[in-house]
Each structure stands twice: as C-alpha cells, then as structure tokens.
Amino acid sequence: MKYLIIAEKPSVATDLSKALASKLGKFTKKGKSRDAQYFENDQAAITSAVGHLVELKMPTGPNGKNLPWKFEVLPAIPEKFELQPIEKTQGRLKHILSLAKKKEFDVIVNACDAGR
C-alpha cells in the first residue's frame, strides 16, 4: 500500500518526511520546479499545498460577466456554487492533482490544518 500525504505548506511536508522516516524509510526530495517539489520513498509521497488552492467563482449575470459589487444586485446566489483555481497557486494545484491521479497511490491523506 502506498500513501500520498498532502500537507498544508512546504515546511510541514519537510517535517513530515523527517518524522515518518523512522517508520517508512528515508525520503528523497523530488521535483524540479518549486511548484512540483515533493518527498518520496517506496511507501509514501509527501507533497504540500501553499495555503488555499481554490476559491469560489464569482456569480455572473446574464451576459456571462461577473456581477458588480453593488447593493442593487444582491442577493446574488448562483444556482450552482463552483470553484476555480487561485491564479497564484495554480501550479501547485496542478502538481497535487497529477500526483493524486497516479494509480500507484492507494490512500490519500489530508495532513492539512483542520482549522477551528
């Protein structure tokens, strides 16, 4: 069984790789670009988000454009709430999704902050 562990931020992924090395074996750092760096061994891969990766899509009007921020258009409740990648973290999201789609991982572990 191979695990994909997703931490909240890169420093936590580094800490997890050190903490889990005694149980799962030494991890090797992989990935060439900053957005695609992760740790891997035969039993697990550890990667991270960088805070939030997606946000709610803005509601649009009949013309398909985002509604203006005016009291006259409120309440603006979309029929379907949709998510979109945050432009600044889009590369990291693509990296995490590419790992998650790999058949080699049997379990995906969310090691992110659960919040309050």
**pLDDT tens, residue by residue, 20-72:** 999 999 999 999 888 899 999 999 999 999 989 999 988 887 777 888 888 88
- Domain hosting 36: range is 3-111
How many domains does the chain divide into?
Answer: 1
Mapped onto helix, strand or coil, the DSSP state of residue 89 is helix
Tell me, what's the pLDDT at 49? 95
Tell me, what's the pLDDT at 116? 58
116: in domain:
no
Both tokens of 10, joined, read: 């890169």
DSSP β-bridge partners for residue 48: 7
**pLDDT tens, residue by residue, 81-116:** 999 999 999 999 999 999 999 999 999 999 988 765
CATH number of the domain within which 98 lies: 3.40.50.140
Tell me, what's the pLDDT at 67? 81
Tell me, what's the pLDDT at 32? 86
User: Edge-to-edge strands of the sheet including 38-40?
Assistant: 28-30, 38-40, 44-48, 3-7, 107-111
74: in domain:
yes
87: in domain:
yes
